[in-house]
């Protein structure tokens, strides 16, 4: 890890009218670090993620990103073209529902290749080889490259979505409940894969989840949210083993033991 | 022509023409950009060329000579009715000869004869948005045009190659105009795409239902999109036109009987007639040529 944060989030608040989406959230994310945002439904996790990833405009606050040219840029002061370029090259966004992040009517290969074509790659053979390479890295057989995602299982779709996001070598990946809706064994496999990829590629990631096991496995640090506020923030093992806030204690103690 | 009194010249009222002309000027100023306009109800159904008719009505003057083609032919229903419409409401001269026309309204073809700087080609466009089938949201496609995000267009071509081993798009083949906007050249065969490049004639595109006008000014670069290892290619025909013997032209297949007999003839009827008038003959009309029902070898004439 270096001594400059990749992302500086300052006082992000989002109001939906008089309702609070999230309130006064500040944190820094360091290169190679995985941050989990946990909390119950409606606690503002996804709102916060959408604000940070510029999918939603926050009511107040700023998000500064450490660009590849070593400067910090406020994401909300960039123009839209720059922001969209950043989103499809240096960032990834993995949706809970793969259908939101994939083009369901084009083949797996085109899904993976779309970002490459968007940044100007015009060689079919190269795009296809890169796509095959990435499908193998996310454990999808290369002979499925011409199948549409609708012919894939839920777990495969989620893995395809991850490949599609990682193909341009992003430095920061946002994940919104990446394992939601998958059965436990598929979840375990996906987590294993994500953990491996994050380690291999030195990715930073912000993962929103309500599943503390996911946070435990993937993240270095975690933030616990309740009613739009971050109520506890610390190293994952510390928060889970020694929760300080009553709500966090409740959350940790509600994990089902088999 | 006493009934002319019941219509304004060229059917549309002058304010409407002014509005359309302003849209045309804007379209010419930004080659390939789709300019929204207040498309009017025309006395024909959507899909029959209401966009093209409005363009023609806005630019036509009493001195103009109009030619209307549909799939290259001057004698099909769409062409005949639009030609009759303008004869009635504008009392202009009409022709089937490409060289004589000053305005050519077309559906699905560009004439084989090279157009000149005094001619305007008006296209009837059903779907002006080239990104539509991959991105259904209009707000999103407009943003993509504005920010020049055209990766999606290549996703379509990628899918083509992945499924068919080659770019199988044969019509409405996307082009990039003046190095900036990606444009749908209307459902013309990709055979005609090279004719749009650096054309001497002004090219106007009208989509009546979708309410869009766009244009390619004369001498503008029009480049068909492709991959480095799958370059753009036009359709090829290994046999000449059966009637006039023309090569390097776009041919239509005509079924002759129910025993598999067929022939390939120029899709541009004026071009074909002109050649025959100048003494060119194809295999069917040649004195010692095969009879029409036989035509050996014609089955594999097309691509």
CATH at A34: 3.40.50.300
A116, closest residue in chain B (CA to CA)? B151
Among B154, B163, B232, pick the best mutation site for testing chain A contact (most A Cβ within 10 A): B154
Cβ-based contacts under 8 A for chains A and B: 56
Contacts of A102 in chain B (CB under 8 A): none
Joined tokens for residue B132: 């539509």
Contact (Cβ atoms closer than 8 angstroms) between residue A255 and residue A213: yes
Nearest to A125 among B134, B149, B229 (CB): B229
> What's the rounded Cα separation, in Å, for the pair B181 and A34?
40
B47 has catalytic annotation:
no
**Shortest CA gap A110–chain B (Å):** 6
C-alpha–C-alpha distance, residues B70 and B124, integer Å = 10
Q: How far is the C-alpha of B256 from the C-alpha of B298, rounded, in Å?
A: 12
Q: Which residues of B touch A80 (CB under 8 A)?
A: 143, 147
Check if A17 contacts B (Cβ < 8 Å).
no
Query: Which of B177, B126, B185, B174 has its CA nearest to residue B151?
Result: B174
Task: Tell me the β-bridge partners of B171.
Answer: B189
The reported pLDDT for the residue numbered B300 is: 43
Task: Spell B224-235 as b/e; 16+ CB within 10 A means b.
Answer: bbbbeebebebe
Among residues 115-144 of chain A, which lie with CB inside 8 Å of chain B? 115, 117-119, 122-125, 127-128
Structural domains in chain A (count) = 1
Name the percent of chain A lying above pLDDT 90: 74
Q: Is residue A127 part of a domain?
A: no
Name which of A107, A152, A150, A136 is nearest B163 in CA terms. Answer: A107
CB within 8 Å: A117 and B149 = no
Residue of B nearest to A79 (CA): B147
Percent of chain B with pLDDT over 70: 93
Pick from A84, A114, A125: which is nearest to B155 by CB?
Answer: A114
Q: What is the pLDDT of residues B183-199, one digit of tens each?
A: 999 999 999 999 999 99
- The active-site residue, picked from B206, B241, B245, B282, is B241
Cα B265 to Cα A2, B55, B112, B237, distances in angstroms: 71, 30, 13, 11
B272 labelled catalytic: yes
**pLDDT at residue A193 greater than cutoff 50:** yes
What backbone torsions phi and psi does residue B57 show, to the nearest 5 degrees? -65, -35
Task: Report which of residues A183 and A110 the model is more confident about.
Answer: A110
Q: How confident is the model at residue A258 (pLDDT cuts 50, 70, 90)?
A: low
Distance CA B280, CA B243 (A): 9
Q: Say how far apart CA B120 and CA B140 lie, in whole Å.
A: 32
Task: Give the pLDDT confidence score for residue B283 in this predicted structure.
Answer: 86
- Is A118 part of any domain? no
At A254, the pLDDT band (50, 70, 90 cuts) reads confident
Tens digit of pLDDT for each residue in B138-149? 999 999 999 999
The values of phi and psi at residue A204, to 5°, are -95, 150
Task: Give CA–CA dist B106/A241, Å, rounded.
Answer: 75
Is B260 marked active-site? Answer: no
Q: Is residue A64 part of a domain?
A: yes
Spell out which chain B residues touch chain A, with contact meaning CB-CB distance below 8 angstroms. 134, 143, 147, 149, 151-152, 154-156, 158-159, 161-163, 226-230
Q: In this complex, do A103 and B155 lie within 8 Å of one another by their Cβ atoms?
A: yes
Q: Which residues of chain B make contact with A127, given a CB cutoff of 8 A?
A: 158
Distances in Å between the Cα of A111 and the Cα atoms of A145, B155, B260 are: 9, 8, 42
Q: How far apart are CA B54 and CA B47, in angstroms?
A: 13
In B, minimum Cα distance to A144 occurs at B162
User: Could you give the CA distance from residue B194 to residue A242 in angstroms, rounded to a whole number?
Assistant: 71
Residues of chain A contacting residue B229, judged by C-beta atoms under 8 Å apart: 123-125
A80/B147 CB distance under 8 A: yes
pLDDT at A53: 93
Answer yes or no: is A39 within a domain.
yes
Which domain covers residue A63, as residue numbers? 7-103+170-254
Tokens 């990103």 belong to residue? A65
Cα distance from A80 to chain B (closest Cα, Å)? 8
Q: What's the Rg (C-alpha) of chain A?
A: 18
What CA–CA distances, in Å, run from A162 to A157, B44, B50, B300?
Answer: 9, 50, 46, 47
Residue A221 located in a structural domain: yes
Catalytic residue among B52, B244, B245, B282: B244
Q: How far is A56 from chain B (nearest CA, A)?
A: 16
**What pTM was computed for the model?**
0.86
Q: Which of A230-234, B250-254, B259-263, B281-285 has the lowest mean pLDDT?
A: B281-285
Determine, for residues A124 and B228 on separate chains, whether the beta-carbon distance falls below 8 Å: yes
B267/A87 Cα distance (integer angstroms): 47
- DSSP codes, chain A: --SS-SEEEEEEEEEETTEEEEEEEEEEE-TT-EEEEEE-TTSSHHHHHHHHTTSS--SEEEEEEE-TTS-EEEGGGS-HHHHHHHHHHTEEEE-SSHHHHS-TTS-HHHHHHHHHHHTT---HHHHHHHHHHHHHHTT--GGGTTS-GGGS-HHHHHHHHHHHHHTT--SEEEEESTTTT--HHHHHHHHHHHHHHHHHHT-EEEEEES-HHHHHHH-SEEEEEETTEEEEEEEHHHHHHS--SHHHHHHHHTSPP-
Chain B CB contacts of A128 below 8 Å: 162
- Is residue B279 flagged as an active site residue? no
Q: Which of B51, B72, B272, B282 is catalytic?
A: B272
- Report yes or no on A148 lying in a domain: no
Is B244 an annotated catalytic residue? yes
The verdict on residue A135 lying in a domain is: no
Residue A42 backbone class (left: φ over 0; alpha: ψ -120 to 50; beta: rest): left
pLDDT tens-place string over residues A39-89 = 988 899 999 999 999 999 999 999 999 998 989 999 999 999 999 999 989
Residue A88 within a domain: yes
Least confident range from A29-38, B3-12, B90-99, B279-288: namely B3-12
| pLDDT confidence tier of residue A5, bands split at 50, 70 and 90 | very high
Least confident of A193-202, A216-225, B248-257, B286-295: B286-295
Nearest to B162 among A109, A115, A119 (CB): A109
Compute the distance between CA of residue B285 and CA of residue B288 in angstroms, rounded to an integer: 8
């Amino acid at each position: 890890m270096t001594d400059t944060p990749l992302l500086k989030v300052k006082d992000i608040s989002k109001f939906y009218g008089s309702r609070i989406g999230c309130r006064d959230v500040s944190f820094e994310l360091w290169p190679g670090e995985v941050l989990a945002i946990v909390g119950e439904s409606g606690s503002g996790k996804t709102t916060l993620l959408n604000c940070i990833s510029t999918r939603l405009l926050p009511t107040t606050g700023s998000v500064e990103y450490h660009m590849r040219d070593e400067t910090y840029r406020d994401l909300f002061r960039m123009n839209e073209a720059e922001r969209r370029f950043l989103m499809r090259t240096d960032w990834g966004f993995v949706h809970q529902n793969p259908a939101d992040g994939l083009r369901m009517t084009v083949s797996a290969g085109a899904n993976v290749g779309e970002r490459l074509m968007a940044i100007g790659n015009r060689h079919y053979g190269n795009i296809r080889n890169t796509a095959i390479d990435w499908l193998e890295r996310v454990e999808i057989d290369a002979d499925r490259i011409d199948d549409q995602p609708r012919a894939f299982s839920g777990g495969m779709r989620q893995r395809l979505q991850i490949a599609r996001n990682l193909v341009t070598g992003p430095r920061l990946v946002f994940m919104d409940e990446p394992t939601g809706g998958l059965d436990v064994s598929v979840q375990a496999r996906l987590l294993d894969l994500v953990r491996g990829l994050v380690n291999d590629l030195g990715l930073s990631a912000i993962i929103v989840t309500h599943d503390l096991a996911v946070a435990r496995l993937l993240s270095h640090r975690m933030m616990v949210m309740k009613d739009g506020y971050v109520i506890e923030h610390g190293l994952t093992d510390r928060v889970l083993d020694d929760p300080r806030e009553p709500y966090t204690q409740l959350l940790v103690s509600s994990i089902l033991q088999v | 022509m006493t009934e002319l009194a019941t219509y304004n010249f060229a059917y549309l009222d002058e304010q409407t023409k002014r509005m359309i002309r302003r849209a045309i000027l804007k379209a010419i100023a930004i080659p390939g950009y789709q300019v929204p306009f207040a498309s009017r109800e025309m006395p024909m159904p959507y899909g029959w060329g209401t966009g093209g008719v409005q363009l023609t009505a806005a630019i036509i003057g009493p001195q103009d000579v109009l030619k209307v083609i549909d799939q290259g032919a001057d004698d099909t229903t769409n062409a005949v009715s639009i030609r009759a419409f303008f004869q009635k409401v504008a009392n202009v001269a009409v022709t089937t000869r490409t060289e004589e026309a000053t305005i050519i309204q077309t559906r699905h073809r560009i004439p084989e004869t090279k157009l000149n700087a005094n001619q305007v080609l008006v296209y009837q466009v059903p779907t002006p948005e080239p990104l539509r089938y991959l991105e259904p949201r209009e707000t999103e496609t407009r943003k993509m045009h504005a920010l020049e995000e055209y990766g999606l267009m290549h996703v379509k071509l990628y899918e083509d190659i992945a499924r068919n081993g080659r770019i199988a798009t044969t019509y409405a083949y996307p082009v990039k105009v003046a190095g900036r906007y990606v444009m749908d050249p209307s459902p013309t065969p990709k055979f005609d795409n090279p004719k749009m490049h650096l054309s001497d004639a002004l090219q106007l595109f009208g989509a009546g239902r979708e309410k869009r006008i766009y244009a390619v000014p004369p001498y503008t670069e029009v480049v068909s999109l492709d991959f480095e290892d799958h370059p753009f290619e036009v359709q090829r025909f290994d046999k000449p036109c059966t009637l006039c013997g023309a090569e390097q032209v776009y041919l239509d297949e005509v079924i002759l009987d129910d025993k598999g007999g067929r022939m390939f003839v120029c899709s541009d009827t004026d071009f074909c007639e002109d050649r025959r008038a100048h003494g060119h003959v194809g295999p069917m009309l040649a004195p010692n040529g095969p009879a029409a029902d036989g035509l050996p070898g014609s089955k594999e004439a097309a691509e």
